[in-house]
């Protein structure tokens, strides 16, 4: 297939047609910068914390956002969370450190082990001994989000930049429609949250309109050292189940995920308005924003017997 713009050999087939290497790289980068601009994801004076797993999405976003930040003389650092999944996250974080060294980006790594005294695998062992019914990804997710917010805040960041792509967002929309509820859905979009709270660093998603395929094509074309495999536990998660079904629909009805996002963005302002009232209370234990007297992290750690 020839590139629809310059007739050279295409490297990727998009809905609008094929694109060659150079045209695709330009298209991808422009799309990311346009998302940052149009959705006001961050300003020149924001200190940026890029949440980095070391996977393709986070390295792609780190690469593009740090390039922009350097041009503007803006402060930026990468924050990696090591949940303790051996043979996976340790390898990804090695890639992240190598990438940061090569590009002169400050980087910080925080682990579950140093913070909670146990890796995610050990925490699941404790949960099963105590008869606590929680899935590994649910536990991992709440603890990771907590550490991201805590350290981004401690290190003075005013925005957390995440590498969530269009596929991730489409899955989360469906997960919230099926289970999570509309209040959770209202927090979504390129810039997360409904109400500002000094204890919550807003999370922004420059890859919001980039598909999984586009992001992996981009990192491959740029030759990033990236582990293209998933966490071994992901296949057991609800997200993976929803992703499999969405991928199936998108294969038969091309563009389904993109139109899901576009349609969702039309109703998102109404959802944000609907849930924008009132103050966000804080957890009586840790002081982090929480609707309950004791937040879900403190409550779960209590049940696990972890101080
Ligand atoms: S797939 Fe699940 S266990 Fe693995 S890192 Fe993600 S949330 Fe954690
Ligand atoms: Zn071209
Ligand atoms: Zn708490």
Within-domain flag for 36: yes
pLDDT category at 222 given cuts 50, 70, 90 is very high
Give the Å distance between the CA of 73 and the centre of ligand 3.
36
pLDDT of 189? 95
pLDDT category at 6 given cuts 50, 70, 90 is very high
Within-domain flag for 43: yes
pLDDT category at 162 given cuts 50, 70, 90 is very high
- Does 239 sit in the ligand 1 pocket, CB within 6 Å? no
Give the Å distance between the CA of 231 and the centre of ligand 1.
6
State the total domains in the chain.
1
Question: Cβ–Cβ contacts within 10 Å for residue 171, how many?
Answer: 23
- Mean pLDDT for all residues in the chain: 94
Percent of the chain at pLDDT > 70 equals 100
pLDDT category at 84 given cuts 50, 70, 90 is very high
Asked if the model's pLDDT at residue 54 lies above 80, the reply is yes
**Residue 157's domain is classified under what CATH number?**
3.40.50.620
Within-domain flag for 16: no
Question: Cβ–Cβ contacts within 10 Å for residue 216, how many?
Answer: 18
pLDDT tens digit string along 226-264? 999 999 999 999 999 999 999 999 999 999 999 999 999
Within-domain flag for 211: yes
Asked if the model's pLDDT at residue 21 lies above 90, the reply is yes
Within-domain flag for 294: no
> pTM, whole model, 2 decimals?
0.95
- Residue 114 domain boundaries: 21-278
Within-domain flag for 306: no
Asked if the model's pLDDT at residue 307 lies above 80, the reply is no
**CA dist., res. 126 & res. 305, Å (int):** 9
Asked if the model's pLDDT at residue 290 lies above 80, the reply is yes
Within-domain flag for 300: no
Protein residue with least CA distance to atom 4, ligand 1: 231
Within-domain flag for 302: no
Protein residue with least CA distance to atom 3, ligand 1: 137
pLDDT of 72? 94
* Ligand 1 atom with least separation from CA of 230: 1
pLDDT of 197? 84
- Does 168 sit in the ligand 1 pocket, CB within 6 Å? no
- Does 140 sit in the ligand 1 pocket, CB within 6 Å? yes
Asked if the model's pLDDT at residue 278 lies above 80, the reply is no
């Amino acid at each position: 297939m020839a590139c629809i713009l310059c007739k050279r050999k295409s490297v990727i087939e998009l809905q609008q047609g094929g694109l060659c290497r150079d045209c695709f790289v330009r298209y991808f980068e422009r799309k990311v910068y346009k998302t940052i601009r149009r959705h006001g994801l961050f300003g020149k004076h924001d200190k940026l914390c890029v949440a980095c797993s070391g996977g393709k999405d986070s390295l792609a976003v780190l690469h593009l956002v740090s390039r922009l930040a350097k041009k503007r003389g803006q402060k930026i650092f990468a924050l990696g969370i090591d949940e303790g999944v051996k043979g996976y996250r340790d390898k990804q974080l090695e890639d992240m450190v190598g990438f940061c060294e090569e590009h002169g980006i400050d980087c910080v790594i925080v682990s579950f082990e140093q913070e909670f005294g146990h890796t995610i695998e050990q925490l699941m062992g404790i949960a099963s001994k105590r008869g606590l019914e929680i899935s590994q990804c649910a536990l991992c997710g709440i603890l990771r989000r907590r550490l991201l917010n805590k350290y981004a805040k401690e290190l003075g960041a005013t925005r957390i930049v995440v590498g969530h792509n269009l596929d991730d967002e489409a899955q989360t929309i469906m997960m919230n429609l099926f289970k999570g509820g509309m209040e959770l859905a209202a927090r979504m979009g390129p810039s997360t949250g409904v109400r500002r709270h000094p204890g919550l660093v807003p999370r922004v998603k420059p890859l919001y309109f980039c598909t999984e395929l586009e992001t992996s094509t981009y990192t491959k074309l740029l030759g990033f050292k990236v582990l293209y495999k998933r966490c071994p536990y992901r296949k057991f998660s609800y997200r993976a189940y929803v992703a499999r079904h969405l991928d199936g629909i998108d294969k038969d009805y091309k563009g389904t995920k993109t139109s899901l996002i576009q349609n969702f963005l039309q109703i998102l302002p109404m959802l944000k308005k609907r849930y924008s009232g009132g103050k966000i209370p804080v957890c009586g234990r840790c002081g982090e924003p929480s609707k309950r007297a004791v937040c879900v992290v403190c409550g779960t750690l209590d049940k696990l017997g972890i101080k």
